[in-house]
Chain A
Amino acid sequence: MNDKVRNNKAWWLILPMLLLVAFSAIIPLMTVVNYSVQDVFDAQTRYFTGTEWFVQMLNDPALQSALGRQFVFSLTILAIEVPLGIGIALLMPKKGWQASAVLILVTLPLLIPWNVVGSIWQIFTRGDIGLMGWSLRELGYSYNITRSPLDAWITIIIMDVWHWTPLIALLCYSGLRAIPEAYYQAARIDRASRWAIFRYIQLPKLTNVLVIGILLRFMHSFMIYAEPFVLTGGGPGSSTTFLSQALAIMATAQFDVGPSAAFSLIYFLIILLVSWVFYTAIMNMQKDKKERGA
């Protein structure tokens, strides 16, 4: 790096951005931190509680099981969406009008708002008028997402895969397009099999976009709210109540501001922690490769 002519005026230029971030992120966050350490009765009456809410939240069985469900859900959809997304990207045409047409078709689900996705699938799976629900019943399977937790789970997972696999596919598609044609030509001349081309040319060049894709999908799915809320309402029982919904119930329905603030913070830290662990793990893997090579 070259050092430029030094000039401190530049700091003034980022001031508006700092103010904006303060209002949009830092101040609300601080309010939550503030609530999380107090017991609020009404506008005038409040007590300092220290870490009490945090301890209570971490020991709450309902939230513990929601957290467990959340991990199972996020890992399941990643395990399905990542390979599926790569597969779709590999199959997509590379040029011509077909490429544009397929690209539009594939990305269509990404354009639908979350709660609409929930509604679509809610109707789609109804036993009386929904195409899928009706068909399954006609085939003799007693499909009912309001009674069978397994049905509900499978449906939510299929819904998420349908909605978000295109994102992974899109990222991989752009990654694949960036590979110079000479690599494929060389591989053909070396008589490499289709699998070898994938393993030694395509996959290595996809690593970077996949890191971004997996991180995005993890954070996204960890905060899932609207779709299951509309589709199953978290039921049957609490079998599909994920973290954010559990939090929403506590904060809005029961109006437990203190505990839910404490829980929000715990939630936030979990996402931050998992993302960080994941990111450093992958970065270390790449660094290792370099060091071993050097």
Chain B
Amino acid sequence: MSLILENVTHVVNGATHIDDITLELAPGSFNVLLGRTLAGKTTLMRLMAGLERPTRGRILMDGHDVTGISVRHRNVSMVYQQFINYPSLTVYENIASPLKLARVDKREIDRRVRETAEMLHIEHLLERYPLELSGGQQQRTAMGRALVKDADVILFDEPLVNLDYKLREEFREELRALFAARNCIAVYATTEPGEALALGGNAAVLHEGRLLQYGRTEDVYHRPRDILSAEMFSEPPINVVRGLVSGSEITFDRSVHFPLNDDLRTLIPGEYQFGVRASHLSLTPQADDDLELQVKVDLAEISGSETFLHVSNDLFHLVVHLAGVHEFEVDQRITVYFPTHKVYAFDRQGTVVHIPSRLAGV
């Protein structure tokens, strides 16, 4: 089973929601659609499911054109943000419902429902009703309904948004394991870069209805094609600084100079945008050629085991991502070290022209 979108465009009332997307999903692959709200993730999924018909372009499943075929004749299932279950049916009946509709033999239904429930760790809840369950258990039930029918394509539309973060951690890990063993194509929409990385597989970065990049998740992260793709696939957002390369040095915002290192020597003179990941900035020098920047703290956001430091001076506005908990006062003055050998360079159009060799990944 493969799923191919060919030059798919979707226009609603004159507004282009999906703009000429071509995408090929391999059999058995796990695919993350990453993008902010309104990037077109949901629309793209609805097109894949057959809930909408593209304005232009074709959709092929296993080589067959299914563009005009409605959702009822495609073997797909979907899991939503909201925990959607039949409130008057038990968990067992909920999970069994797609099989009953398909008139599967009773004993076979029983076997598959129990197998699915076990996989999702809800085998002890089969006789309960959805509204008696916690949010996480309700979502497990909804996933059970999607998984039980052996769909060719399973679509997840931000399924973990309404769960608290401890449950999200568990779910992500389970999903990774679950789909490693399955043969169907999974498509998973999320707004969080961290979630995309945690799920692994392949990633498609979407922005304003366009597909910015598609590939193995780590590759897309480490080797962004352009500045937009790098910005969309980083949390906190990658720091971008304008600079001028001239002869043997780089000038940031006309005042901070530093000599070109071996890594960046290939850049021809001109204007560039330089990107550095928040987690590569640090409070202690990591290498001899690190650039020292005097800044003041705008806010230290602490997330249990990590610190996101928003800092600025007259020229820069940067976010520093530190492991561990570090406490700072607002407006405190500190020094930040900028690693010149971990810098991405983008030309004036935003296309990537330099990827630091140490970060190029696998």
| Interface residues of A, Cβ cutoff 8 Å to B | 1-6
Chain A residue with the shortest CB-CB distance to B71: A5
Give residues of chain B (50-69) contacting chain A, Cβ–Cβ below 8 Å.
50-53, 68
Contact B70 A2 (CB under 8 A): no
Q: How far is the CA of A1 from the CA of B15 in the complex (A)?
A: 11
Main secondary structure of the interface of B (DSSP, over half): loop
Binary per-residue interface labels of chain B (19-52) against chain A in the complex, 1 for a CB within 8 Å, 0 otherwise: 0000000000000000000000001001000111
Please, which residues of chain B bring their CB within 8 A of the CB of A5? 50, 52-53, 68, 70
B14 CB to closest chain A CB (Å) equals 12
Chain B residue with the shortest CB-CB distance to A7: B70
Q: How far is the CA of A2 from the CA of B68 in the complex (A)?
A: 16
**B12 contacts A by Cβ under 8 Å:** yes
- Could you jot down 17 A-B contacts, CB within 8 Å? A1-B12, A1-B13, A2-B12, A2-B43, A2-B46, A2-B52, A3-B12, A3-B13, A3-B52, A4-B51, A4-B52, A5-B50, A5-B52, A5-B53, A5-B68, A5-B70, A6-B53
| Interface residues of B, Cβ cutoff 8 Å to A | 12-13, 43, 46, 50-53, 68, 70
Q: How far is the CA of A260 from the CA of B227 in the complex (A)?
A: 78
B96 CB to closest chain A CB (Å) equals 28
B82 CB to closest chain A CB (Å) equals 17
Main secondary structure of the interface of A (DSSP, over half): loop
Q: How far is the CA of A105 from the CA of B139 in the complex (A)?
A: 43
Please, which residues of chain A bring their CB within 8 A of the CB of B43? 2
Listed from nearest, the 9 A-B pairs whose CB atoms lie closest are A5-B53, A5-B70, A3-B12, A2-B52, A2-B12, A4-B52, A5-B52, A1-B12, A2-B46
A-B contact count (CB 8 A): 17
For the A-B complex with A1-B13, A2-B52, A5-B50 known, give 14 more contacts whose Cβ atoms are closer than 8 Å: A1-B12, A2-B12, A2-B43, A2-B46, A3-B12, A3-B13, A3-B52, A4-B51, A4-B52, A5-B52, A5-B53, A5-B68, A5-B70, A6-B53
Q: How far is the CA of A114 from the CA of B51 in the complex (A)?
A: 50
Q: How far is the CA of A5 from the CA of B70 in the complex (A)?
A: 8
Chain A residue with the shortest CB-CB distance to B55: A3
Chain A residue with the shortest CB-CB distance to B52: A2
Please, which residues of chain B bring their CB within 8 A of the CB of A6? 53
Please, which residues of chain B bring their CB within 8 A of the CB of A2? 12, 43, 46, 52
- A1, A5, A6 — most chain B CB neighbours (10 Å): A5
Please, which residues of chain B bring their CB within 8 A of the CB of A3? 12-13, 52
Q: How far is the CA of A1 from the CA of B13 in the complex (A)?
A: 9
Q: How far is the CA of A5 from the CA of B53 in the complex (A)?
A: 6
Please, which residues of chain A bring their CB within 8 A of the CB of B50? 5
Chain A residue with the shortest CB-CB distance to B43: A2
Q: How far is the CA of A1 from the CA of B46 in the complex (A)?
A: 14
Please, which residues of chain B bring their CB within 8 A of the CB of A1? 12-13
B63 CB to closest chain A CB (Å) equals 22
Q: How far is the CA of A136 from the CA of B12 in the complex (A)?
A: 71
Q: How far is the CA of A4 from the CA of B70 in the complex (A)?
A: 10
Q: How far is the CA of A190 from the CA of B68 in the complex (A)?
A: 58
Q: How far is the CA of A3 from the CA of B53 in the complex (A)?
A: 8
A1 CB to closest chain B CB (Å) equals 7
Please, which residues of chain A bring their CB within 8 A of the CB of B68? 5
Q: How far is the CA of A4 from the CA of B52 in the complex (A)?
A: 5
A8 CB to closest chain B CB (Å) equals 14
B78 CB to closest chain A CB (Å) equals 15
Chain A residue with the shortest CB-CB distance to B42: A2
B241 CB to closest chain A CB (Å) equals 38
B286 CB to closest chain A CB (Å) equals 49
Q: How far is the CA of A39 from the CA of B56 in the complex (A)?
A: 62
Q: How far is the CA of A3 from the CA of B12 in the complex (A)?
A: 7
Q: How far is the CA of A53 from the CA of B75 in the complex (A)?
A: 67
Q: How far is the CA of A2 from the CA of B55 in the complex (A)?
A: 12
Q: How far is the CA of A6 from the CA of B68 in the complex (A)?
A: 10
Q: How far is the CA of A6 from the CA of B50 in the complex (A)?
A: 12
Q: How far is the CA of A5 from the CA of B68 in the complex (A)?
A: 8
Please, which residues of chain B bring their CB within 8 A of the CB of A4? 51-52
A67 CB to closest chain B CB (Å) equals 47
Q: How far is the CA of A2 from the CA of B12 in the complex (A)?
A: 7
Q: How far is the CA of A131 from the CA of B41 in the complex (A)?
A: 72
- A1, A4, A6 — most chain B CB neighbours (10 Å): A4
Q: How far is the CA of A4 from the CA of B10 in the complex (A)?
A: 12
Q: How far is the CA of A4 from the CA of B54 in the complex (A)?
A: 10
Chain B residue with the shortest CB-CB distance to A3: B12
Q: How far is the CA of A42 from the CA of B338 in the complex (A)?
A: 103
B11 CB to closest chain A CB (Å) equals 9
A85 CB to closest chain B CB (Å) equals 35
Chain B residue with the shortest CB-CB distance to A6: B53
Please, which residues of chain A bring their CB within 8 A of the CB of B13? 1, 3
B8 CB to closest chain A CB (Å) equals 15
A149 CB to closest chain B CB (Å) equals 59
Q: How far is the CA of A4 from the CA of B43 in the complex (A)?
A: 12
Q: How far is the CA of A3 from the CA of B11 in the complex (A)?
A: 9
Please, which residues of chain A bring their CB within 8 A of the CB of B53? 5-6
B221 CB to closest chain A CB (Å) equals 32
Chain A residue with the shortest CB-CB distance to B11: A3
A272 CB to closest chain B CB (Å) equals 32
